[in-house]
Amino acid sequence: MPTKRVRTNRNLIVTEMSSSEREGLLNGHFWCAEPPKERQAELWQEHAAELVEFWTSDPAEWSRAGNKRGFGAPPPAGLFRRPAAWWKFSEHRRQRILGSPGPWDDDELHFGVPRFGCDEDRFEGEKGFLIRNAALLLPAEKEALKAEGNPAVLKAALRPTTIQ
């Protein structure tokens, strides 16, 4: 499938992203035909930083600014959340906290947990996962943890970690 590319200068090629592709990378729901995984990976690689920045922004501020949810324009999820594509194209998986069947293929996972046949409550939350893997926290998330003032959580979140 040909991709839409716009040459911006001699060395940089920017891949255009449709509103359906943007929404699919953010919340996992493509409202048109889902593009091939290679196309999704290419878009994610190029637009990951801007999508994570948007997805972790404050939903209340987004609404106050007059933004409305529509096709291709899902509202941000807020701090301690990651877009669907972050889970899909990284090696991160949330831990089971109660016994449940598994393992699952990558195509069966949604936001790092099984899409079907398993209660999401059997897995750690996104915030818990990010605190456990503190190297993945954004600066704003570290500041929010400091503001919460829970010493145990703060100590766990700010300790040096190696992501498995």
Per-10-residue mean pLDDT, the chain, length 164? 52 70 88 87 93 92 83 82 88 62 55 58 76 86 83 60 41
Q: Based on the domain organization, do 114 and 157 belong to the same domain?
A: no
Q: Based on the domain organization, do 89 and 131 belong to the same domain?
A: no
The burial of 83, by beta-carbon neighbours within 10 Å (0-12 exposed, 13-18 middle, 19 or more buried), is given as buried
Q: Based on the domain organization, do 79 and 45 belong to the same domain?
A: yes
Q: Based on the domain organization, do 161 and 118 belong to the same domain?
A: no
As for how many domains the chain has, the answer is 2
Q: Based on the domain organization, do 86 and 163 belong to the same domain?
A: no
Q: Based on the domain organization, do 21 and 63 belong to the same domain?
A: yes
pLDDT at residue 52 in the model: 93
Q: How far is CA 76 from the centre of its chain?
A: 11
Q: Based on the domain organization, do 26 and 81 belong to the same domain?
A: yes
Q: Based on the domain organization, do 33 and 89 belong to the same domain?
A: yes
Alpha-helix residue ranges (DSSP H) falling in the chain: 19-27, 37-55, 59-64, 84-89, 126-132, 139-148, 151-158
* HSE of 106, CA atoms in CB hemisphere, 13 A: 10
Q: Based on the domain organization, do 112 and 130 belong to the same domain?
A: no
Range of the domain at 162: 124-164
Q: Based on the domain organization, do 133 and 56 belong to the same domain?
A: no
Query: What is the reported pTM?
Result: 0.70
pLDDT at residue 8 in the model: 47
Asked whether 76 and 57 are in contact (CB, 8 A), the reply is: yes
